[in-house]
Amino acid sequence: MAAGGSASRRAQEARRQERLLREQWQAARQQARQWEAASEGERRVAAQLLVLTERGWRLLVDRRWPGTRAANVDMLLVGPGGVFVIDVKNWRAGPETWGGKLRADGEPRDEHVARLLAVTKAAEGAVASLGMSPVAVQPLMVFAGQRVDTGLGRIRLLGEREVGPALLSERCRLRTESVRAIADHLERVFPDYEGPAVGRTAPPTTARPQQAASDGLFDLEGLRDAALEEALRAPIEQWMTFLHPDQVALVRRNWSGPARISGPAGTGKTVVGLHRAAHLARRTSGRILYVTFANNLPRVQGTFFKSMSPGVADRVDFRSLHSWAQEFLQERGVQVRLHGDKAETAFSLAWKHVGRDSRLAEIDPAPGYWREEIDHVIKGRGITAFEEYATVPRRRRRAVLRRSHRQAVWALYEAYESLRGERGVHDFNDVLSLALAEATRRKEGPHYAAVIVDEVQDLTLVGVRLLHALVGDVPNGLLLVGDGQQAVYPGGFRLADAGIDIRGDRGQVLHTNYRNSKEILDAALTVVADDVFEDIDGMNTPGRRDVELTYHDGQVVRVTKPTVAEHDQALLDALRALRDGARADAAVLCPSVRAIGHYQRLLSCAEIPVCLLEHYDGRPVDAVKLGTYRRAKGLEFKRVYLPQHDAALPKGASAGGAGVAEAHETARETGRETSREREELLRSQLFVAMTRARDLLWLGSVDR
Ligand SMILES: Nc1ncnc2c1ncn2[C@@H]1O[C@H](COP(=O)(O)OP(=O)(O)OP(=O)(O)O)[C@@H](O)[C@H]1O
């Protein structure tokens, strides 16, 4: 989209919002005027909040504080932004905060702080009984007639003009059904002092939009800007605070040693992992390390975490494993010269000298398979002696290697290591091995109270050992989160290989998919239906797993065209048909970096704004996301477009096609177990990409 086009859309949206807001504002003002008992200041605050009730929030006014004789709570507000306990102040002077204390008019006012925190605790107790994590309840002090926007511990202090826009700008945390359930519950727990709850009645239909946006009593300005921002914001980034009681139990559980949470795609593993991080951060004074293999995911998770749990966000480090390991080595004064290109050249030369004409070509003449063998089996497992490699079980590797083959692999490995050494460079596996050696050699900082590993199935054995070494077997120290079915890299490991013992209730499985509709999940499961996979506990699990579903809307659209040009045009048409703002929740995912290049050019030429997944940080952006299947790991989008999704798979193995068994046949025909392994990996990657879709899965094919 050209800059001009996007500016004009923004202006159009701004006008639409302004119209809508004026109507809502009108209704809010009328309602606020009816509160005769309230002071003028309180009515102005209420008017700001009443606008929110026109936008899906629920406002409970003047409620009885349970467990007290006659105390009341000014307001409880529940909406997409969370739960707010509000104390309205009609003070002559504005608040001053200093050294964690509240003053006004030269007088200490700490009793107001203590009181608000006590009511907040009561509200937290109420929502916790619903299974909701207490991070969503926030205390607010609102000052009529003042301009304020500051904080005092966990309390936010806002002026009457600031409160509406601030709440409207809150990141979306609760879905409509959660807002309803929580507000209903709070209504019961905090009974009416007098007067009904506000926010369930429709705005008066007789209220006609009038010109005056401000009559001295009311102010629309700030709300208008925040409303526009809200409208343009992509709701997919909303934060999940309403956990299922089973999930809450996992978040708060006391584990006596390393623990593991597994479960199929979309079952809330990451949600639980992040809440667990917040829970541990609140309970300990140490730092928490939250690691994944992928580079972009920590940024996204960090953003979500900040909005979910701002109070402890600075105590949790969201890092990708390799970048963390590099920094760790640097801090310890260990020299690392990571150089991917030079390492790649060293391997190519080694292949030329000792690989290409060896017995390895009998099994697979392509060097890629052998590079993976070195990366994921030899170096990934930290093997440094041939005798160990000669007998090691090669997890999830299909080709059977006799001793003579393994000798040939070893010769290739040694040649590679020697050429790499000559160049004085390290590869990614070296970084992890050096870090592991350093972590075991000197058991001193960084002192992590806990390490949480997300997408653990993507790590190598050395990577897992390294993270285990940081916390050992201390209670609540190591938490491994992942799903073997979503492995997108070759090889693998078992927990037992890493010396990690997870027994009894320390291994938990989630079963309810909260993301995908039946149609989408069925299409994805069909791709991997025949692929039995081995998870890190060593258990073999069939590809088609039983999952409980909660999300019922969602469709699969299949588009097959005779040429790439027609296929790409269909993709562009589908993306162009998205209504305003919808592309923020759309992702085009491709199997390879090369395909990304192609689709980036295509979308740019069509003036469709693109945000590469490597630049996406979890904040809403009005552009179609574009990235590889691997980069999409752990993320989700309302609409997922997979152009030429079956191009790399053998014919008949397309998503939902009947030919997965035929695909296995094809691999057998080539006589290569290595082809079969590669195809299996491609199917896993496709499965991951398909299960990112919430509402729409677009599957493009070219019928060559
Ligand atoms: N209790 C719940 N109620 C409603 N939605 C939920 C619940 N728990 C999780 N979700 C939502 O389900 C979706 C999937 O959650 P999450 O990403 O944590 O799953 P996951 O198991 O890590 O998925 P994957 O392995 O596919 O990456 C998210 O949109 C999340 O907000």
C-alpha torsion sign, points 655, 660, 665, 667: positive
- Tokens 């692929």 correspond to what residue? 531
Q: Output the CA torsion 535→430→325→330 (10° steps).
A: 170
Residue 367: asked if its preceding bond is cis (omega within 30°), the reply is: no
Number of helices (H), then strands (E), belonging to the chain: the values are 22, 25
Distance (Å, whole) CA 311 – CA 135: 9
**240 within 8 A of 266, measured Cβ to Cβ:** no
Lowest model confidence (mean pLDDT) among 44-58, 189-203, 480-494: 189-203
Is the pLDDT reported for residue 657 higher than 60? Answer: no
Is residue 634 lining ligand 1, measured as CB closer than 6 Å?
Answer: yes
Pick the CATH number of 519-702 from 3.40.50.300, 3.60.15.10, 3.90.1150.10, 3.30.70.1710: 3.40.50.300
pLDDT value of residue 35:
63
Q: Of all protein residues, whose CA lies closest to atom 4 belonging to ligand 1?
A: 514
Q: How far is the CA of 641 from the centre of ligand 1 (A)?
A: 20
The mean pLDDT value for 434-439 works out to 95
Atom of ligand 1 nearest to the CA of 175: 4
C-alpha torsion sign, points 213, 219, 222, 227: negative
**176 within 8 A of 56, measured Cβ to Cβ:** yes
Confidence of residue 34 (pLDDT cuts 50, 70, 90): low
**Interface pTM, i.e. ipTM:** 0.99
Residues making up the annotated binding site for ATP are 263-270
pLDDT for 279-288, tens place per residue?
Answer: 999 888 899 9
Is residue 266 lining ligand 1, measured as CB closer than 6 Å?
Answer: yes
Here the tokens at position 332 are: 């310890």
Is residue 695 lining ligand 1, measured as CB closer than 6 Å?
Answer: no
Q: How far is the CA of 640 from the centre of ligand 1 (A)?
A: 16
Is residue 17 lining ligand 1, measured as CB closer than 6 Å?
Answer: no
More confident residue, 687 or 61: 687
Q: Which residues pair with 59 in a beta bridge?
A: 77, 198
Is residue 638 lining ligand 1, measured as CB closer than 6 Å?
Answer: no
Distance (Å, whole) CA 703 – CA 685: 21
Distance (Å, whole) CA 202 – CA 59: 13
Q: Which of 261, 270, 637, 697 best tests ligand 1's pocket when mutated (most atoms within 8 Å of CB)? A: 270
Q: Of all protein residues, whose CA lies closest to atom 26 belonging to ligand 1?
A: 265
Here the tokens at position 483 are: 């799903």
Is residue 698 lining ligand 1, measured as CB closer than 6 Å?
Answer: no
Residues making up the annotated binding site are 263-270
Here the tokens at position 370 are: 């052998």
Is residue 268 lining ligand 1, measured as CB closer than 6 Å?
Answer: yes
Q: Of all protein residues, whose CA lies closest to atom 12 belonging to ligand 1?
A: 514
The mean pLDDT value for 448-469 works out to 96
Is the pLDDT reported for residue 548 higher than 80? Answer: yes
What are residue 195's phi and psi, to 5 degrees? 85, 150
Is the pLDDT reported for residue 133 higher than 70? Answer: no
Is residue 271 lining ligand 1, measured as CB closer than 6 Å?
Answer: yes
pLDDT value of residue 390:
95
- To the nearest whole number, what is the mean pLDDT of the chain? 85
Read off the amino acid at residue 263.
Answer: G
Q: How far is the CA of 531 from the centre of ligand 1 (A)?
A: 24
Is residue 514 lining ligand 1, measured as CB closer than 6 Å?
Answer: yes
Is residue 691 lining ligand 1, measured as CB closer than 6 Å?
Answer: yes
Distance (Å, whole) CA 573 – CA 571: 5
Is residue 636 lining ligand 1, measured as CB closer than 6 Å?
Answer: yes
User: Is the fold of 245-334+443-510 the same as that of 519-702?
Assistant: yes
pLDDT for 574-591, tens place per residue?
Answer: 999 998 778 888 999 999
Atom of ligand 1 nearest to the CA of 481: 22
Atom of ligand 1 nearest to the CA of 243: 1
Where is mean pLDDT largest: 70-79, 158-167, 569-578?
A: 569-578
Atom of ligand 1 nearest to the CA of 510: 21
Pick the CATH number of 245-334+443-510 from 1.20.1530.20, 3.40.50.300, 3.20.20.70, 3.30.300.160: 3.40.50.300
pLDDT value of residue 407:
97
Q: How far is the CA of 636 from the centre of ligand 1 (A)?
A: 9
Read off the amino acid at residue 97.
Answer: T
Q: How far is the CA of 459 from the centre of ligand 1 (A)?
A: 21
Q: How far is the CA of 270 from the centre of ligand 1 (A)?
A: 7
Q: How far is the CA of 454 from the centre of ligand 1 (A)?
A: 13
**Is 136 strand, coil or helix?**
helix
Is residue 371 lining ligand 1, measured as CB closer than 6 Å?
Answer: no
pLDDT value of residue 224:
63
Q: How far is the CA of 260 from the centre of ligand 1 (A)?
A: 17
pLDDT value of residue 619:
82
**684 within 8 A of 488, measured Cβ to Cβ:** yes
pLDDT value of residue 372:
95
Q: Output the CA torsion 609→615→136→132 (10° steps).
A: 90
Structural domain spans, the chain:
3-233, 245-334+443-510, 340-425, 519-702
pLDDT value of residue 290:
98
Instruction: List alpha helices for 424-517, DSSP H.
Output: 428-441, 461-471
pLDDT value of residue 225:
66
Atom of ligand 1 nearest to the CA of 263: 21
Q: From 662, 619, 663, select the one nearest 296 (Cα to Cα).
A: 619
The mean pLDDT value for 484-497 works out to 89
pLDDT for 339-392, tens place per residue?
Answer: 999 999 999 999 999 999 999 998 999 999 999 999 999 999 999 999 999 999
Q: Which of 515, 535, 694 best tests ligand 1's pocket when mutated (most atoms within 8 Å of CB)? A: 515
The mean pLDDT value for 213-227 works out to 53
Is residue 488 lining ligand 1, measured as CB closer than 6 Å?
Answer: no
pLDDT for 595-628, tens place per residue?
Answer: 999 999 999 999 999 999 999 998 878 899 999 9
Q: How far is the CA of 244 from the centre of ligand 1 (A)?
A: 11
